[in-house]
Amino acid sequence: MGDEVTGVENQLEELAERVLGFQKYILRRAWGIYYSVWSFATLSWMFLPSIIEFLYPHAPSLSYFVAYSIVGIIAGAATARIFSNARRTLVLRRIVSKVRRPKRTLIYRMWWLPFYGFIILAFIFVKPYFYTLLMILLVSVDLFVYYELKASFSRIPPEGLLAIASFAASIALGLYASLVSNSYLLFGVDWLPMVLSWLFCSLYALYHAPDYMVE
Amino acid sequence: MRQIIWLSDLLSESGVEGQESELRALSLQLNDPVLKSTARLLILISLGINRRLGFVDLLNLTGVGKGSLSNHLQKLESKGLIRVRRIPTFGGLRVRVEITQEGLAVYRNYLELLSKLIAKSNNV
């Protein structure tokens, strides 16, 4: 009897493993769309405040606030929609791999509320250092991307590594621009490496997602 | 695609009581002829996670032919576990398969049964 029950368990586990293999393909496609969404969101953050300020020059600070909020909400909602299946995939993976939900993941999920709180407080109270503080806070986003990629795939695909590296490079450029050079040109282009490489990552992920089906 | 030997079959044959009854109750709910196929259960589990998938995705998942997949989908739809829709796109009509509330209940059952079986085998 015990052997037979184990046999049934093995059959059910085999099915789960097969679905998890398929989910790698689905998740890589989802990451591909995610890179595109945030690449365009970052591009909008670079130019939208200036456009709003040009159209409504009476409150320059407001243009940044409005542009950042609108783009952030749209891109955030799109991200939630894109990854709605990722959480359910993790539930199945945890059952099969017999691991409990790590505390680190919970901490990362709970980090978003203070994250936005810090941004708003920095914008209101320490405006001269806002950009520097924002760059420091964005390090946590890069770490978040890293952990989410690790959770989605057993081995981070190459475009994922490029996305993390280019994001870090843009943060470093932003910090350099705000702390050392104060060059307007650098402020204008510090996020271009991220925008361009995430666009490339998106295309690469969408093109190579079927590779997981072959595996 | 092979048939699945269900736990309920084993339990009813062996007459094991007590501790196994919970597993039996769960597996009985899954012990439907429509779900006694690996392909159909694969489709249902995958739809449980993704909520909706395209026909081509399901072809890749199951590895069966188009006709066979249509047949599997028809059986699942007749049981009210999924809904098959034809969505107009720029490239023509696309088949999109969605899971229903009944299908979700079966998927949750499968998760519960799997986690209980694994937990049980870990305790042994």
Tally Cβ neighbours within 10 Å of residue B23: 21
Q: Identify the bridge partners of residue B93 per DSSP, sorted by sequence position.
A: B88
Does A11 sit within 8 Å of B5, measured CB to CB?
yes
Q: Is the pTM of this model over 0.80?
A: no
User: What is the gyration radius of the CA atoms in chain B, in angstroms?
Assistant: 16
**How many Cα atoms occupy the beta-carbon half-sphere of A104 within 13 Å?**
8
Cα A76 to the center of its chain, rounded Å = 9
Cα B35 to the center of its chain, rounded Å = 6
Q: Rounded mean pLDDT of chain B?
A: 80
Tally Cβ neighbours within 10 Å of residue B43: 27
Pairing mode, if any, of strands B52-54 and B82-89? unpaired
pLDDT tens, per residue, chain B with 124 residues: 555 555 555 455 444 444 466 566 666 666 677 887 888 988 999 999 999 999 998 998 888 999 999 999 999 999 999 999 998 988 888 999 999 999 999 888 888 887 877 777 666 5
Q: How far apart are CA A8 and CA B16, in angstroms?
A: 16
Residue B53 makes CB contacts below 8 A (sequence gap 6+) with B46, B47, B61, B96, B97
Amino acid at B76: L
Mutation target to probe the A interface, by most A beta carbons within 10 A, among B7, B10, B17, B49 is: B49
A20 vs B: CB within 8 A: no
* Token pair belonging to A20: 């998890």
User: Is A75 in contact with A38 (CB distance < 8 Å)?
Assistant: yes
Burial (CB count <10 Å: 0-12, 13-18, 19+), residue A109: exposed
Sign of CA dihedral B37, B39, B43, B46: positive
Residue linked to tokens 């997602």: A209
Does B6 sit within 8 Å of A88, measured CB to CB?
no
Does A1 sit within 8 Å of B14, measured CB to CB?
yes
Average pLDDT per consecutive 10 residues, chain A (215 residues; last block may be shorter): 64 82 88 94 87 81 81 88 80 74 65 82 82 89 87 87 95 89 75 94 92 66
Q: How far apart are CA A99 and CA A173, in angstroms?
A: 39
